[in-house]
Chain A
Amino acid sequence: NAGVTQTPKFQVLKTGQSMTLQCAQDMNHEYMSWYRQDPGMGLRLIHYSVGAGITDQGEVPNGYNVSRSTTEDFPLRLLSAAPSQTSVYFCASSSDRGLGTGELFFGEGSRLTVL
Protein backbone atom coordinates (compact mmCIF):
# COMPACT_ATOMS: atom_id res chain seq x y z
CA ASN A 1 0.00 0.00 0.00
CA ALA A 2 1.73 3.16 -1.22
CA GLY A 3 -0.27 5.65 0.89
CA VAL A 4 0.50 9.25 -0.10
CA THR A 5 3.10 9.69 -2.83
CA GLN A 6 4.72 13.02 -3.61
CA THR A 7 6.99 13.84 -6.53
CA PRO A 8 9.56 15.19 -6.94
CA LYS A 9 11.31 14.86 -3.58
CA PHE A 10 13.81 17.60 -4.43
CA GLN A 11 13.63 20.46 -6.90
CA VAL A 12 15.65 23.59 -7.61
CA LEU A 13 13.99 26.40 -9.53
CA LYS A 14 14.96 29.82 -10.75
CA THR A 15 12.85 32.82 -9.84
CA GLY A 16 9.93 33.14 -12.22
CA GLN A 17 9.81 29.51 -13.29
CA SER A 18 6.66 27.47 -12.82
CA MET A 19 6.33 23.89 -11.69
CA THR A 20 3.88 21.34 -10.34
CA LEU A 21 4.28 19.22 -7.24
CA GLN A 22 2.40 15.99 -7.70
CA CYS A 23 0.47 14.22 -4.96
CA ALA A 24 -1.37 10.93 -5.27
CA GLN A 25 -3.05 8.74 -2.67
CA ASP A 26 -4.41 5.24 -3.07
CA MET A 27 -6.59 5.13 0.06
CA ASN A 28 -9.72 6.62 -1.52
CA HIS A 29 -9.53 9.59 0.84
CA GLU A 30 -11.89 12.48 0.23
CA TYR A 31 -9.76 15.01 2.09
CA MET A 32 -6.41 16.13 0.67
CA SER A 33 -4.26 19.09 1.58
CA TRP A 34 -0.96 20.83 0.99
CA TYR A 35 1.19 22.25 3.78
CA ARG A 36 4.49 24.05 3.73
CA GLN A 37 7.01 23.69 6.54
CA ASP A 38 9.39 26.49 7.42
CA PRO A 39 11.79 26.70 10.39
CA GLY A 40 10.16 28.18 13.48
CA MET A 41 6.72 28.26 11.88
CA GLY A 42 5.53 24.68 11.94
CA LEU A 43 3.32 23.57 9.09
CA ARG A 44 0.97 26.00 7.41
CA LEU A 45 -1.93 25.06 5.19
CA ILE A 46 -1.74 26.23 1.57
CA HIS A 47 -4.86 24.66 0.01
CA TYR A 48 -7.15 21.80 0.78
CA SER A 49 -9.86 19.76 -0.94
CA VAL A 50 -12.75 17.72 0.41
CA GLY A 51 -13.49 15.92 -2.85
CA ALA A 52 -13.21 16.05 -6.61
CA GLY A 53 -14.09 19.53 -7.83
CA ILE A 54 -14.01 21.12 -4.36
CA THR A 55 -10.97 23.11 -3.24
CA ASP A 56 -10.47 25.96 -0.81
CA GLN A 57 -7.69 28.24 0.35
CA GLY A 58 -5.73 27.77 3.53
CA GLU A 59 -3.54 30.21 5.45
CA VAL A 60 -0.89 30.89 2.78
CA PRO A 61 -2.45 30.38 -0.68
CA ASN A 62 -0.82 33.25 -2.59
CA GLY A 63 1.39 32.09 -5.46
CA TYR A 64 -0.08 28.59 -5.49
CA ASN A 65 -2.85 26.97 -7.48
CA VAL A 66 -4.62 23.62 -7.05
CA SER A 67 -7.26 21.54 -8.73
CA ARG A 68 -8.92 18.24 -7.87
CA SER A 69 -10.20 16.40 -10.90
CA THR A 70 -9.98 12.92 -9.36
CA THR A 71 -10.16 11.51 -5.86
CA GLU A 72 -6.59 10.23 -6.10
CA ASP A 73 -4.66 13.29 -7.28
CA PHE A 74 -4.14 16.76 -5.86
CA PRO A 75 -1.35 18.65 -7.67
CA LEU A 76 0.07 21.93 -6.37
CA ARG A 77 1.16 24.45 -8.98
CA LEU A 78 3.65 27.24 -8.40
CA LEU A 79 2.74 29.87 -10.94
CA SER A 80 5.88 32.03 -10.84
CA ALA A 81 8.39 30.81 -8.26
CA ALA A 82 9.83 33.26 -5.75
CA PRO A 83 12.63 32.78 -3.19
CA SER A 84 9.99 33.08 -0.45
CA GLN A 85 8.56 29.79 -1.67
CA THR A 86 11.71 27.92 -0.74
CA SER A 87 10.34 25.38 1.71
CA VAL A 88 9.49 21.76 2.36
CA TYR A 89 6.05 20.88 1.05
CA PHE A 90 3.84 18.13 2.42
CA CYS A 91 0.77 16.59 0.90
CA ALA A 92 -1.61 14.95 3.38
CA SER A 93 -4.88 13.09 3.14
CA SER A 94 -7.59 11.81 5.43
CA SER A 95 -10.68 9.65 5.22
CA ASP A 96 -12.46 12.18 7.42
CA ARG A 97 -12.95 15.75 6.21
CA GLY A 98 -13.52 16.71 9.83
CA LEU A 99 -10.05 15.37 10.74
CA GLY A 100 -11.28 14.33 14.14
CA THR A 101 -11.97 10.64 13.84
CA GLY A 102 -9.25 9.96 11.30
CA GLU A 103 -5.62 10.87 11.29
CA LEU A 104 -3.90 12.87 8.58
CA PHE A 105 -1.63 10.72 6.39
CA PHE A 106 1.40 12.60 5.12
CA GLY A 107 3.63 12.13 2.12
CA GLU A 108 7.40 12.17 2.55
CA GLY A 109 7.75 15.81 1.63
CA SER A 110 9.23 17.74 -1.28
CA ARG A 111 12.12 20.11 -0.69
CA LEU A 112 11.92 23.07 -3.06
CA THR A 113 14.65 25.67 -3.45
CA VAL A 114 14.05 28.82 -5.46
CA LEU A 115 17.17 30.73 -6.46
Chain B
Amino acid sequence: AQTVTQSQPEMSVQEAETVTLSCTYDTSENNYYLFWYKQPPSRQMILVIRQEAYKQQNATENRFSVNFQKAAKSFSLKISDSQLGDTAMYFCAFVRAMEYGNKLVFGAGTILRVKS
Protein backbone atom coordinates (compact mmCIF):
# COMPACT_ATOMS: atom_id res chain seq x y z
CA ALA B 1 0.00 0.00 0.00
CA GLN B 2 1.17 3.49 -0.77
CA THR B 3 0.59 5.64 2.29
CA VAL B 4 1.75 8.77 4.07
CA THR B 5 2.17 8.89 7.85
CA GLN B 6 2.37 12.02 9.93
CA SER B 7 3.00 10.84 13.47
CA GLN B 8 2.48 14.19 15.23
CA PRO B 9 -1.21 15.14 15.40
CA GLU B 10 -0.42 18.46 17.10
CA MET B 11 2.63 20.55 17.80
CA SER B 12 3.32 23.96 19.24
CA VAL B 13 6.28 26.32 18.98
CA GLN B 14 7.20 29.70 20.32
CA GLU B 15 7.36 32.59 17.90
CA ALA B 16 10.84 32.98 16.31
CA GLU B 17 11.86 29.40 17.17
CA THR B 18 12.37 26.45 14.85
CA VAL B 19 10.07 23.45 14.54
CA THR B 20 10.24 20.24 12.53
CA LEU B 21 7.22 18.30 11.31
CA SER B 22 7.71 14.63 10.52
CA CYS B 23 6.46 12.64 7.56
CA THR B 24 7.15 9.13 6.35
CA TYR B 25 5.75 7.55 3.25
CA ASP B 26 5.64 4.24 1.54
CA THR B 27 5.95 3.81 -2.20
CA SER B 28 7.40 1.26 -4.58
CA GLU B 29 8.14 3.88 -7.20
CA ASN B 30 11.64 5.26 -7.77
CA ASN B 31 10.82 8.64 -9.22
CA TYR B 32 8.13 10.67 -7.54
CA TYR B 33 7.33 14.07 -6.08
CA LEU B 34 6.70 15.09 -2.50
CA PHE B 35 4.88 18.12 -1.18
CA TRP B 36 4.03 19.96 1.99
CA TYR B 37 0.73 21.86 1.96
CA LYS B 38 -0.44 24.35 4.56
CA GLN B 39 -4.10 24.84 5.53
CA PRO B 40 -4.67 27.89 7.73
CA PRO B 41 -7.98 28.46 9.55
CA SER B 42 -9.34 30.00 6.34
CA ARG B 43 -9.36 26.42 4.97
CA GLN B 44 -7.44 27.41 1.84
CA MET B 45 -4.82 24.82 0.81
CA ILE B 46 -1.47 26.43 0.04
CA LEU B 47 1.60 24.71 -1.40
CA VAL B 48 4.57 25.28 0.89
CA ILE B 49 7.37 23.30 -0.71
CA ARG B 50 8.03 20.60 -3.28
CA GLN B 51 10.75 17.96 -3.60
CA GLU B 52 11.63 15.77 -6.56
CA ALA B 53 12.77 12.35 -5.40
CA TYR B 54 15.58 12.07 -7.94
CA LYS B 55 17.20 15.26 -6.61
CA GLN B 56 19.48 14.72 -3.65
CA GLN B 57 19.51 18.38 -2.68
CA ASN B 58 16.91 19.31 -0.10
CA ALA B 59 14.39 21.91 -1.24
CA THR B 60 14.26 25.30 0.44
CA GLU B 61 11.70 28.09 0.24
CA ASN B 62 12.60 31.06 2.43
CA ARG B 63 12.00 29.93 6.06
CA PHE B 64 10.81 26.50 4.99
CA SER B 65 13.15 23.62 4.21
CA VAL B 66 12.91 19.87 4.02
CA ASN B 67 15.07 16.98 5.13
CA PHE B 68 14.54 14.35 2.45
CA GLN B 69 15.90 10.90 3.23
CA LYS B 70 14.97 8.73 0.26
CA ALA B 71 16.27 5.44 1.62
CA ALA B 72 14.39 5.95 4.87
CA LYS B 73 11.34 7.30 3.01
CA SER B 74 11.29 10.31 5.27
CA PHE B 75 10.33 13.86 4.30
CA SER B 76 10.32 16.27 7.26
CA LEU B 77 9.53 19.99 7.12
CA LYS B 78 11.57 22.51 9.07
CA ILE B 79 10.13 25.94 9.75
CA SER B 80 12.68 28.49 10.93
CA ASP B 81 11.90 31.76 12.69
CA SER B 82 8.29 30.67 13.24
CA GLN B 83 5.66 33.36 12.82
CA LEU B 84 2.10 33.60 14.10
CA GLY B 85 0.91 33.31 10.51
CA ASP B 86 2.44 29.83 10.33
CA THR B 87 -0.33 28.54 12.59
CA ALA B 88 -2.11 26.00 10.39
CA MET B 89 -2.66 22.35 9.60
CA TYR B 90 0.25 20.97 7.58
CA PHE B 91 -0.17 18.06 5.19
CA CYS B 92 2.55 15.94 3.70
CA ALA B 93 1.71 14.41 0.32
CA PHE B 94 3.27 12.44 -2.50
CA VAL B 95 2.27 11.79 -6.06
CA ARG B 96 0.90 8.38 -6.94
CA ALA B 97 0.29 7.13 -10.46
CA MET B 98 -3.30 6.36 -11.46
CA GLU B 99 -4.67 4.96 -14.69
CA TYR B 100 -5.13 8.24 -16.58
CA GLY B 101 -3.07 10.63 -14.52
CA ASN B 102 -1.69 10.98 -11.03
CA LYS B 103 -3.10 11.88 -7.66
CA LEU B 104 -1.81 13.29 -4.42
CA VAL B 105 -1.87 10.95 -1.43
CA PHE B 106 -2.13 12.98 1.76
CA GLY B 107 -1.16 12.27 5.33
CA ALA B 108 -3.62 12.92 8.17
CA GLY B 109 -2.03 16.28 8.92
CA THR B 110 -0.25 18.00 11.81
CA ILE B 111 -1.79 20.98 13.55
CA LEU B 112 0.90 23.55 14.28
CA ARG B 113 0.26 26.33 16.76
CA VAL B 114 2.72 29.21 16.97
CA LYS B 115 2.59 30.96 20.34
CA SER B 116 3.56 34.55 21.07
7 A-B contacts (beta carbon < 8 Å): A42-B106, A43-B104, A43-B106, A45-B103, A88-B43, A99-B104, A106-B45
Q: How far is the CA of A112 from the CA of B52 in the complex (A)?
A: 35
Count of B residues near A, CB < 8 Å? 25
Q: Does A31 reach chain B (CB closer than 8 Å)?
A: yes
Contact B108 A58 (CB under 8 A): no
Q: Does A77 reach chain B (CB closer than 8 Å)?
A: no
Q: Which residues of A contact B (CB under 8 A)?
A: 31, 33, 35, 40-45, 48, 50, 54, 56, 58, 88, 90, 92, 97-100, 103-104, 106, 108-109
Instruction: Determine the residue in chain A with the shortest Cβ distance to B34.
Output: A100
Contact A48 B101 (CB under 8 A): yes
Majority DSSP secondary structure for residues of A touching B? strand
- Tell me whether A100 and B100 are in contact in the complex, defined as CB-CB below 8 angstroms, given that A42-B4, A42-B107, A90-B45 are known contacts: no
Task: State which of A35, A40, A90, A99 has its C-beta within 8 Å of the C-beta of B95.
Answer: A99
Binary A-proximity of B17-36 (CB < 8 A = 1, otherwise 0):
00000000000000011010
Q: Does B50 reach chain A (CB closer than 8 Å)?
A: yes
